[in-house]
Amino acid sequence: MRTVWDSPAWQSLPGNFSTTPGNLTFSYYMEWFNPFMNKIAGKSASCGAIMLFCLNLPPDIQQLPENTFFAGITPPPKEPTMTTITAVADPIIDCLKPMWDGRLIKTYRHPLGIQKRAAILARIGDLLAIRKAMGFAGVASHNFCSFCKLHLADIDDLNHLSWVSRSGADVLRAANEWKNADTKKRRKEIYKEHGVRWSSLHGLPYGDAVCHTLLGIMHNWIEGVLQHHARVLWGIGVIPPKTGNHNDHNDHISAVITHPLLDADLNFGSEVLDDEIEDLYVESQSYQDTPSHMSRMRSEASILSQDCDDSDPEDVDFQPDGDSDLASDDSGDEDESWKANCIFTAAELNMIHACISEAVIPSWIE
């Protein structure tokens, strides 16, 4: 498969929807970002965006800015909870739902109108956005996976043949049961058993919460696995703590930057990174917290979220609504930047450097 057009999911919408001329199929992408871009130093804020892009367009132009639709926004400085996010998503879904049956739209070439239908196929996000958008339990919950029924206690089971896949029908059934439950206690029981609650996207009559959900590669690999490898294993960009004995830490870092193969590049990168961190820290100081008179105001959504909160401090399976990869620390300690230690020892790094120096690279690679 090279594009979504080659995937089984492209054919999965009822009535050959995606291949019928005149029908439009969209992706639903949700993500939160820091508008101040001060990810390393300073306090963070979180602003959310819900974007749609048309999958009928050729892949190379699908995600151009002029071809994307800014469908919704969640205002900073905090992310919405799994309860209050419906206040943003419901109006979008309510507009999209009638488009499944279609409507007559007048255009320049069709002044009398042409019948058009639209549907949402792929729902894309990182691990946390998927859970908020689709109503799945959190990543530390008993039912931690949105694609299979593996339990957290069995997370070390790497035999994928033993994993039981979730089905979209079962997820939708559990979500409807959660929505129609009469008591909070019953909702907690359903949530604990299935790891599912109601979300706005379940209101689309054609969607599959499992097959149509995609994990974004940016967070999973680029900002996840690769960042962990570079920062934690190699110690690249690590900021040494200001106090205490750091000889081991410094030895590890010096083992990286003094190797002749990497000396110039990593010394240059370290200086640039230090300057960037300092600039970000200074910049972050110009952004103050929400004014006190604003923070005292309570919106209707915040009141509803407290009334509808399903949290239970004694429920170890419950994942709080406020989970976020951009969760802000309001302790005021802005000196706690990235201070991970290099996992590789100096001896291990020397062995790795020796392997690199002996590596054979194909002649066609510059």
Q: Is the pLDDT of residue 29 over 80?
A: yes
93 touches 201 (CB < 8 A): yes
* Mean pLDDT for the stretch of residues 13-33: 90
* Mean pLDDT for the stretch of residues 250-257: 46
Q: How many Cβ atoms sit within 10 Å of the Cβ of residue 239?
A: 16
The winner for highest mean pLDDT among 43-47, 59-63, 291-295 is 59-63
* Mean pLDDT for the stretch of residues 133-150: 90
Q: How many Cβ atoms sit within 10 Å of the Cβ of residue 221?
A: 12
Predicted local distance difference test score (pLDDT) of residue 117:
95
| Average pLDDT of the residues of the chain | 76
Predicted local distance difference test score (pLDDT) of residue 165:
94
Q: Is the pLDDT of residue 41 over 70?
A: no
* Mean pLDDT for the stretch of residues 336-365: 78
* Mean pLDDT for the stretch of residues 247-274: 47
Predicted local distance difference test score (pLDDT) of residue 183:
93
For residues 148 and 230, the model is more confident at 148
pLDDT digits (tens, 9 = 90+) for 307-339: 444 444 434 444 444 444 433 333 333 344 455
Predicted local distance difference test score (pLDDT) of residue 284:
54
Show Cβ contacts of residue 113 under 8 Å, excluding neighbours closer than 6 positions. 104, 105, 106, 107
Q: Is the pLDDT of residue 100 over 90?
A: yes
For residues 318 and 93, the model is more confident at 93
For residues 211 and 38, the model is more confident at 211
Place of tokens 């919408």: 13
Measured distance CA(46)–CA(34) in Å, rounded: 5
For residues 144 and 267, the model is more confident at 144
Measured distance CA(356)–CA(345) in Å, rounded: 16
Range with lowest mean pLDDT among 74-83, 94-103, 267-276: 267-276
Predicted local distance difference test score (pLDDT) of residue 356:
86
* Mean pLDDT for the stretch of residues 352-358: 87
* Mean pLDDT for the stretch of residues 276-301: 48
For residues 313 and 29, the model is more confident at 29
Residue 60 is encoded by which pair of tokens?
Answer: 């190379």
Predicted local distance difference test score (pLDDT) of residue 51:
94
Residue 46 is encoded by which pair of tokens?
Answer: 């979180």
Predicted local distance difference test score (pLDDT) of residue 126:
86
231 touches 344 (CB < 8 A): no
Question: What is the percent of the chain where pLDDT is above 90?
Answer: 35
Predicted local distance difference test score (pLDDT) of residue 36:
77
* Mean pLDDT for the stretch of residues 337-359: 78
Sign of CA dihedral 198, 201, 204, 205: negative
Confidence of residue 277 (pLDDT cuts 50, 70, 90): low
Residue in 61, 43, 42 with CA at minimum distance from that of residue 53: 61
Question: What is the percent of the chain where pLDDT is above 70?
Answer: 70
Measured distance CA(72)–CA(31) in Å, rounded: 11
pLDDT digits (tens, 9 = 90+) for 158-207: 999 999 999 999 999 999 999 999 999 999 999 999 999 999 999 999 98
CA 325, distance to chain mean position in Å, is: 8
Measured between alpha carbons, how far is residue 287 from residues 24, 80, 128 in Å?
42, 21, 26
Burial 62-98 (b: 16+ CB within 10 A, else e): beeeeebeebbebebbbbbbbbbbbbbbeebbeebee
Measured distance CA(239)–CA(273) in Å, rounded: 10
Confidence of residue 298 (pLDDT cuts 50, 70, 90): very low
